[in-house]
Chains A and B, each alone.
Chain A
Amino acid sequence: MSVNIAETGPGTRVERASGPPAPGKKRTLSLRQRIWRERWSYTFIIPGAAFFLVFMYAPMAGNVVAFQDYSPFRGVEGSPWVGFANFTAIFNDPEIVTALRNTLIIAFLQLAFAFPAPIALALLLHSLLSEKVKRLVQTIVYLPNFLSWVIVISVWQQVVGGGGLVAGILDGFGMPGFDLMTDAENFKFLVVAQNIWKDAGWGTIIFFAAIAGIPSERYEAAAIDGASGWQRTWHVTLPALVPVATLLLILNIGSILTVGFEQLLLQQPMVGADAAQVLDTFVYFRGVLGGQWGIATAAGLLKGVIGTVLVLAANKFAKKMGGEGIF
């Protein structure tokens, strides 16, 4: 029986207990012997692997209904195949044009405002000198991330909705009728504002990790060279955040067609589909509620494929620009 050692880290495996000829001897074990030797390890792996196969990979096969005139009553076997008819139907559907436009506008606004927000917040908090204040503010700004969208939107409703806190105050100044939550025109900005409120604080955590990794000598050297506080931020702190920001940007680009599904689903009744229909809500309303399963699945599949292609492209681009990709 050979004894093997847990890896203590990538590439640092120590091979001691199995005796001097271990490296050569190991390779002579047949695959079957190696599997038998590790049979207990498979009791850990197989249940989890089965979970991922059933709940993450098997549903991929369900996407075949994108090529069918599917109905749950007939099932996959009984539904007629229609080729690319669902996809042609999508491209001729005015509603999906609205959904796509809304998705892209919201994604663009998120990228422009919600993406830099945690970076700005992290820099601001980093510039605070008192550790105590910093810790306290961090605790407060992290909190909204843990609230569900239902709670967040309910709270916003009570504050900036009709009859809410702000409406009450404005009413007192003779400006009645304030209701941000049903304002279709500014809805997309509302969505981004909610996103910043909920996630900007938590988003700083990864940038703090990057800032913590900057050796303090670098600031010291910059200060001795006469760099002001602003210059230190610009030339020392910001460059250290670029790799993390690039990574997040790549991931963001991959999910550009996925904008706050629950957030928009919950608010669509208040502002209407023209303002709040995005691709994901389109799939839900058309497919699950509307019964047009084939068309909705086709839209979902198209979205997924485009998202994957975008991630790969963004990753490649980041590498080409001399940065680091994610894989």
Chain B
Amino acid sequence: MVTATTTKTNDRPPWMNPPSPLIRAVKAVVIVLIVITMLYPLVYVIAMSFASPEQARAGVVFPTEYSLDAYRAIFNGGTVLQGLRNSLFITVVGTVLSLAATSMLAWGLVRTRQVPGAKFVLILVLATMFFSAGIIPNFMLIKYLGLLDSTWSLIIPGLISAFNMIVIRNFFQGLPGELIEAARIDGAGEWRIFLRIVLPLSKPVLAVMGLFYAVGYWNTYFNALLYINDSEKWPIQVVLQQYVLAGVAIPGAVVSPDQPPPPGVTLQMAVIVLATVPILLVYPFLQRYFTSGVLTGAIKG
């Protein structure tokens, strides 16, 4: 039954009856509740990190007077800044190395039929998605390699994720074969083909995987707890855990010597915000690719 009445939403297919107002209202309420649950805690934390000391101490649902004191105090303290610097290093260096290593392996494993042994390596890699050696054997390995208390212990063990490798390999398999074939006939070597043809054509998948790796490195927590004793080398997540969850006072967090330090709550909120902001910054770029099918195609395959 096709109704002639025009509705606000033009996405409704012609065979579908207009939904009843009651169901629409219920759906709207549920959706709004979900959005509030997801978003309000984050908005609240960001807002409170800018709250004036008086309002922060009183505790309000949403601050109306603002102050930058918490951030000033944190930047004076230095510990949090050091954590941010460490995390930035791990994230940038780790992401670049991970992308290089993952795409190299993925390209090497595309032609499993022609390359003897490639199939075996592929199975070896895939199998790692279903087991892990466990906390203590991993710890022993890092210790054996002399990487304890080194920033590299947070980068090297996670260099290639089997899942990401499969996603990139899937994308490589979908590249136009004729182009690569033509280059081979022209005598281009594997490396030349990889660097000049394959990588430039694979920007979308490299962008998504790069951002996945970056988020992973930025969020590194447990490995740092396990491998890094020296607090100078802690990434921001460990710093955050110490000052916000374990309740340790942030050393030197004062605005100026003649002023009382900002309330602990705003300091904590500000550290949370600083640890979250990089994720919020890359999120819009990441988000573009979610619907592009790069990921979901790989999951199915």
Residues of A within 8 A of B (CB): 3-10, 13-14, 16-17, 31, 34-35, 38, 40-45, 47-49, 51-63, 65, 72, 121, 124, 127-131, 133, 135, 137-144, 146-151, 153-159, 163, 165, 168-169, 197, 201, 205-206, 208-209, 216, 219-220, 223-224, 229, 254, 261-262, 265-266, 269-270, 280, 283-284, 287-288, 293, 296-297, 300-301, 303-304, 307-308, 311
CB of B77 closer than 8 Å to a CB of A? no
Tell me the minimal C-beta distance from B83 to chain A in angstroms.
11
Between A and B, 28 residue pairs with Cβ closer than 8 Å are: A3-B184, A7-B113, A34-B116, A35-B116, A41-B108, A41-B115, A44-B194, A45-B118, A48-B125, A59-B138, A60-B133, A62-B133, A131-B11, A140-B39, A142-B290, A147-B276, A148-B219, A150-B219, A150-B221, A150-B275, A151-B276, A158-B272, A159-B41, A168-B59, A219-B13, A288-B135, A297-B137, A301-B134
Check if A139 sits within 8 Å of B287, measured CB to CB: yes
In the complex, A163→B57 CA distance in Å?
10
Check if B177 sits within 8 Å of A146, measured CB to CB: no
Q: With A45-B109, A155-B272 given, is the CB distance from A55 to B157 under 8 Å?
A: yes
Tell me the minimal C-beta distance from A86 to chain B in angstroms.
12
In the complex, A108→B39 CA distance in Å?
28
Check if A4 sits within 8 Å of B130, measured CB to CB: no
The total number of A-B Cβ pairs within 8 Å is 298
Residue from B112, B185, B276 whose CB has the most chain A CB atoms within 10 Å: B276
Check if B245 sits within 8 Å of A49, measured CB to CB: no
Contact for A149 among B108, B173, B221, CB less than 8 A: B221
Contact residues of B: prevailing secondary structure = helix
Which residues of the other chain, A, contact B138 by a CB distance below 8 angstroms? 59, 62
CB of B259 closer than 8 Å to a CB of A? no
Check if B105 sits within 8 Å of A6, measured CB to CB: no
**B35-69 vs A: 1/0 string, CB under 8 Å?**
10111011011001000000000011100000000
Q: With A41-B190, A140-B39 given, is the CB distance from A60 to B137 under 8 Å?
A: yes
For the complex with contacts A121-B34, A293-B136, 4 further pairs of A-B residues with Cβ separation under 8 Å are A38-B114, A63-B137, A296-B136, A297-B137
CB of B222 closer than 8 Å to a CB of A? yes
Which residues of the other chain, A, contact B80 by a CB distance below 8 angstroms? none
CB of B128 closer than 8 Å to a CB of A? yes
Q: With A5-B184, A140-B35 given, is the CB distance from A48 to B287 under 8 Å?
A: no
Which residues between 152 and 209 of chain B lie within 8 Å of chain A, taking CB atoms? 156-157, 159-160, 162, 165, 173-177, 180-181, 184-185, 189-191, 194
Q: With A154-B244, A158-B268 given, is the CB distance from A283 to B134 under 8 Å?
A: yes
In the complex, A158→B42 CA distance in Å?
10
Check if A48 sits within 8 Å of B35, measured CB to CB: no
In the complex, A288→B237 CA distance in Å?
20
Contact for B136 among A38, A139, A300, CB less than 8 A: A300
Which residues between 106 and 125 of chain B lie within 8 Å of chain A, taking CB atoms? 107-118, 121, 124-125
Check if A40 sits within 8 Å of B237, measured CB to CB: no
Which residues of the other chain, B, contact A121 by a CB distance below 8 angstroms? 34
Which residues of the other chain, A, contact B81 by a CB distance below 8 angstroms? none
Which residues of the other chain, A, contact B124 by a CB distance below 8 angstroms? 49, 52-53, 57
Top 6 A-B residue pairs of the complex, sorted by shortest distance between their CB atoms = A44-B108, A48-B105, A62-B137, A59-B133, A148-B219, A209-B296
